[in-house]
Amino acid sequence: MNNKVPNNRAWLLVLPMLVLVAFSAIIPLMTVVNYSVQDVLGPNARFFTGTEWFQSMLNDDALQAAFLRQISFSLIILAIQIPLGIGIALIMPKRGWQASAVLILITLPLLIPWNVVGSIWQIFTRGDIGLMGWGLRELGINYNITRNAGDAWATIILMDVWHWTPLVAMLCYSGLRSIPEAYYQAARIDRASKWAIFRYIQLPKLTNVLVIAVLLRFMHSFMIYAEPFVLTGGGPGSATTFLSQSLTTMAVGQQDLGPSAAFSLIYFLVILLVSWVFYTTIMNMQKDKPPHGGA
């Protein structure tokens, strides 16, 4: 048994970060909790409402619909971006000037600010001047993101895939580069097929970066705001209104601070739960593996 007392001095070095997080996250979060149980009208006019806001938020039809849309959106983009990112990383050149050139080309979408991405795609998909909108229309497809909910969804998913698959690809690429050459040599000696190399060497070694990729992409897509807001404004109707946009409309547009505080807490708890489940599952998958199984 390990009876050594762990050296806890490292915690002192974490203290500055803790202070920073306290001011940037913990204290604001406490304030949100305080707001969620009150109706705050002004500095001296506030009324305790108890659980009323939570009750009305949980039973709000529009929010429930936005929640379902949000979940579907996150699952769809994860299902596309993770395999696609792995695939791109596998075919990226490994060395030489081509490697640098491809890396730069692939990173470009990541450098563009989110609302600019929205504008680019907004123009790109316009029927009169946009290349994609005009092209599709010339081909006889009745494509219109302001009228047709299906078109709006497809465009937002395409936009997110274009914008964020590079991140997954870069993470996987760095994971692949860190696999020692000896593994591949051993595989060659065994005459392992490409699929076997992928399944038993590359994929297990990618687990760590994939955890990060899935977590980042999930949290990020679950909070997506600027891109669909600029591209479709949540429309047509409310077909692409996601959670954060509903929240912004409520908190900033209508100044309903109490309900939106309750709503953001529910939102926060869902993100916390999903992230924790992802993290724990993947970390435990690794722990259960026998030590010679890679990773």
Partner 1 sequence: MSWMVWTVPTAIFFSSIAAMLAGMTVWEILSPTIERKGFLPIATTRGDRLFISLLSAAFIHLGVIGFTSLSIWIALAVSAVWLLVLMRWG
Stretch that binds partner 1, among 37-45, 66-74, 172-180, 181-189 (CB under 8 A): 37-45
33 binds partner 1 (CB under 8 A): yes
285 binds partner 1 (CB under 8 A): no
Sole binder of partner 1 in the list 79, 104, 112, 273 (CB under 8 A): 273
24 binds partner 1 (CB under 8 A): no
Tell me the closest approach of the beta carbon of residue 18 to partner 1, in angstroms. 12
Sole binder of partner 1 in the list 188, 276, 289, 295 (CB under 8 A): 276
42 binds partner 1 (CB under 8 A): no
**Residue among 23 and 195 whose Cβ is closer to partner 1:** 23
**221-231 burial, b for 16+ CB within 10 Å, e for fewer?**
bbebbbbbbbb
Nearest-CA neighbor of 58 among 282, 259, 250, 256? 259
Sole binder of partner 1 in the list 14, 20, 58, 105 (CB under 8 A): 58
Question: Which residues, numbered 89-148, are part of the site for partner 1 (CB under 8 A)?
Answer: none
Tell me the closest approach of the beta carbon of residue 59 to partner 1, in angstroms. 6
Stretch that binds partner 1, among 39-47, 120-128, 136-144, 193-201 (CB under 8 A): 39-47
Residue count of the chain, please give it: 295
154 binds partner 1 (CB under 8 A): no
Sole binder of partner 1 in the list 212, 266, 271, 274 (CB under 8 A): 266
Stretch that binds partner 1, among 135-143, 144-152, 220-228, 279-287 (CB under 8 A): 279-287
Nearest-CA neighbor of 260 among 271, 269, 249, 270? 249
Determine the Cα–Cα distance for residues 243 and 258; give it in Å rounded to an integer.
17
Q: Decide: residue 140, CB within 10 A, 0-12 exposed, 13-18 middle, 19+ buried.
A: exposed
Give yes or no for a contact between 258 and 57, defined as CB atoms under 8 angstroms apart.
no
Number of residues that bind partner 1 (CB under 8 A): 29
Stretch that binds partner 1, among 127-135, 208-216, 222-230, 280-288 (CB under 8 A): 280-288
Nearest-CA neighbor of 227 among 185, 151, 164, 271? 164
Determine the Cα–Cα distance for residues 294 and 290; give it in Å rounded to an integer.
8
51 binds partner 1 (CB under 8 A): yes
Determine the Cα–Cα distance for residues 154 and 121; give it in Å rounded to an integer.
12
Q: Establish how many alpha carbons lie within 13 A of residue 223's alpha carbon, considering only the half-sphere containing its beta carbon.
A: 13
Nearest-CA neighbor of 172 among 250, 105, 103, 85? 85
27 binds partner 1 (CB under 8 A): yes
Helices and strands, counts by H and E, the chain: 14, 2
**Residue among 37 and 71 whose Cβ is closer to partner 1:** 37
**Residue among 19 and 116 whose Cβ is closer to partner 1:** 19
**Residue among 237 and 291 whose Cβ is closer to partner 1:** 291
Question: What's the longest Cα–Cα distance across the chain?
Answer: 78
Phi/psi of residue 47, nearest 5 degrees: -125, 140
Interacting residues with partner 1 (CB under 8 A): 5-6, 27, 30-31, 33-35, 37-38, 40, 43, 46, 48, 50-51, 54-55, 57-59, 266, 269, 272-273, 276, 280, 284, 287
